[in-house]
Amino acid sequence: MPNFSRTVTVSSDIDSAFGFLSDFRNLEKWAEGDEGELVTKEPLRQGSVFKVKTHFNNKPREYNYEIIEWGPPLRVSLQASTSIFTIIDTIFLSANSKGTEVTYSVDIKYNFPFFVLGIFIGPIFNKLMDKQIKNLEAVLGPVQD
């Protein structure tokens, strides 16, 4: 099961960072070309579902991401499943003296026999994660040294 993870410290306070990141309606602000729409009723909580329009390797995709873990302001996990894979995005947050440390982790579990795709997807996904963590830093405020 491939795991991709990036960590950045941002100037936003932990509550603001959690509110922004846990709401996938904000995807378009940091995940270029992605859009999220809440399909369940507010408030956000475990069981809330977002319809996410995205693209990967220049192909449009649409997934339903469900919040499977809700622990404000420290952690939120969202899961999407297809016939090929299950993907879990987990966002960990912790307050520190400079702001908030954000770790964005993505675990992908491929269904048999698609596990071989992980070999080819890895480099593309690493590049995507690098870009998205830089975008998150810009949106949530870079830390001034």
pTM above 0.85, yes or no: yes
- Judged against a pLDDT cut of 80, whether residue 122 lies above it is answered with no
Residue 55 domain flag: yes
For residue 124, the domain's CATH number is: 3.30.530.20
pLDDT in tens, 30-57: 998 899 999 999 999 999 999 999 987 6
Q: How many residues does the chain have?
A: 145
State residue 100's pLDDT score: 98
pLDDT digits (tens, 9 = 90+) for 69-105: 999 999 999 999 998 889 999 999 999 999 999 999 9
Give the structural domain span for 15: 3-140
Task: Classify residue 51: in a domain, yes or no.
Answer: yes
- Count the helix, strand and coil residues of the chain and give each as a percent rounded to the nearest 5: 30, 45, 25
Specify if 113 maps to a domain: yes
For residue 124, being part of any structural domain is answered with yes
pLDDT score recorded for residue 12: 97
Does residue 145 fall inside a structural domain? no
Count of the separate structural domains present in the chain: 1
- 50 lies in a domain? yes
Is residue 58 included in any domain, yes or no? Answer: yes
Distance from C-alpha of 34 to C-alpha of 60, rounded to nearest angstrom:
10
Q: Give me the helices (H) in the chain, please.
A: 14-22, 117-140
